[in-house]
């Protein structure tokens, strides 16, 4: 018979192993007034090990400005946004590393009344085989979601 303390210790070891089942990210695409913003969110514990591949010349740390700059450029190259059949140029706006999440924001121009939004995301698919990139597209009170695996793309109709 196990003691309550031994059972508690066993649960403490098992819980963290089950807590993170895979690698995933979230991108929120917001359309309003002829503008589009894209906010990427990642878990810091997924990003730091990935820096070895993303920024091989930098330190594998979010404390290294060179690694963060390489990450910003990497995400921008590997996330392609198309609105009504036209590619959207995105410009880096901000990076927030202040929590356990990494948040990278971009902005661009969009049609005032977009009809379709297409996304292709290969972010971290070259690092993690099971990477899942979820994209939520918001216009006003309407939110539509895409789940992208293996560098696939998808589109939503607004």
> Domain ranges in the chain?
24-157
Residue 16 clears pLDDT 60, i.e. is over it: no
Q: What is the pLDDT of residues 77-100, one digit of tens each?
A: 999 999 999 999 999 999 999 889
pLDDT-derived band at 151, boundaries 50, 70, 90 = confident
CB 36 within 8 A of CB 110: yes
Would the pTM count as exceeding 0.95?
no
Q: C-alpha 147: how far from its chain's center?
A: 11
Residue 47, Cβ neighbours under 10 Å: how many? Answer: 24
CB 101 within 8 A of CB 137: no
Give, in order, the Cα–Cα distances in Å from 55 to each of 93, 102, 105, 108, 113.
20, 16, 19, 25, 38
Q: What is the pLDDT of residues 22-72, one digit of tens each?
A: 679 999 999 999 999 999 999 999 999 999 999 999 999 999 999 999 999
Q: Is CATH 2.10.240 the classification given to domain 24-157?
A: no
Tokens of 84: 């009504």
């Amino acid at each position: 018979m196990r003691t309550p303390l031994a059972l508690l210790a066993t649960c403490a070891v098992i819980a963290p192993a089950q807590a993170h089942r895979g690698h995933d990210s979230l991108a929120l695409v917001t359309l309003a007034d002829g503008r589009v913003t894209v906010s990427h969110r990642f878990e810091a514990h997924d990003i730091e090990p990935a820096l070895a591949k993303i920024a091989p010349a930098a330190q594998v740390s979010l404390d290294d400005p060179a690694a963060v700059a390489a990450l910003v450029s990497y995400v921008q190259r590997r996330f392609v946004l198309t609105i009504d059949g036209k590619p959207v140029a995105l410009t880096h706006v901000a990076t927030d590393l202040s929590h356990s999440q990494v948040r990278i924001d971009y902005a661009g121009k969009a049609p005032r009344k977009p009809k379709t939004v297409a996304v292709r995301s290969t972010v971290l698919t070259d690092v993690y085989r099971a990477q899942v990139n979820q994209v939520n597209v918001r216009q006003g009170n309407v939110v539509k979601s895409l789940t992208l695996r293996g560098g696939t793309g998808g589109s939503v109709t607004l």
